Structure 1
């Protein structure tokens, strides 16, 4: 059990049987009336954001979450198969539980949020950015480096990304896995 005074970003709460991560919170002490806490909560399963206001001192059910590294092995009809990097235990995780799954390639290490009591995997987070090779894009023309124009490109995982005109097939690019945006060319 925890109270609203214990709130911190990233904390996981059990509200009516559904798990939520605290995205942000704010303690408010108005000049008149009791103090309260405004929170933005992200549903662990759906990823939807919920705004909730709590009276100060309310007790809430905290869920203990552990972060564990898992290495991606392969994908099959059961889902995405991962191996725990320390115990070598293999698990299958559905694609909906992995943020940025379209940029996942064999050998990548993700961080899984595991419910400590039941040992079930709630969600997986990709690294903030990944380096992938461009497998298809329209050829760039000489002198196309001055504009901010973007063109579609397919990377080795099959995902489509918008890249600058000077990027060609075979080049490696860095991609932000949270937004899917091109960051830079990697030499």
Structure 2
């Protein structure tokens, strides 16, 4: 069995019969007493976030996972139907497995899906960046290229993003899927 030193961002572990994934963790060393691992976690089934604390050296039931590259085909209720690129097998992955990044998922996108030993989908990871076309934005002020001012823009899928003033309707933008922030304009 693993210990608290094996905890890392993205790992899965069982706590009180629930399967959790680590979103972030801190190693806290108070002035007096033992060190503490404070982890921010998300329940794989419900999507509910919580904080779990461990004493240093405490045993943790870490779950081993398999990562499979899959292509997103279509949406079906509260799930996304994805196809294994090698076997062409189709499975349903719950939307909650993607967290807030679900809004960036587009058809035919290649996703990394993590499975447990029972071949149940645990979560999905999108590519770091997606390219989306601006569907609406106000006109910027001509000649204002020196300031770091931002304006609101709507991109494909109805997603609102803050962009520089020079971005216009019809431009293709690279967006970070983890933060939802503008990265650059794509030619």
Q: Give the total of aligned pairs.
A: 183
Asked if the contact 1:137/1:152 (under 8 Å) is kept, the reply is yes
Unaligned runs of 5+ in 2: none
The separation in 1 between residues aligned to 2:147 and 2:74, in whole angstroms, is 39
Q: How does 1:83-102 map to 2 (within 5 A)?
A: 83-99=83-99, 100-102=101-103
The equivalent residue for 1:24 is 25
Unaligned runs of 5+ in 1: none
The equivalent residue for 2:184 is 184
Distance 1:145 1:63, change over 3 A: same
Asked if the contact 1:4/1:37 (under 8 Å) is kept, the reply is no
The separation in 1 between residues aligned to 2:6 and 2:180, in whole angstroms, is 34
The equivalent residue for 1:65 is 65
The equivalent residue for 2:140 is 140
Alignment partner of 2:179: what SS? coil
After TM superposition, the score normalised by the length of structure 1 is 0.83
1:104 equivalent to 2:105? Answer: yes
After TM superposition, the score normalised by the length of structure 2 is 0.83
The equivalent residue for 2:42 is 43
The equivalent residue for 1:118 is 118
Deviation at 1:181, TM superposition (A): 0.9
Asked if the contact 2:78/2:95 (under 8 Å) is kept, the reply is no
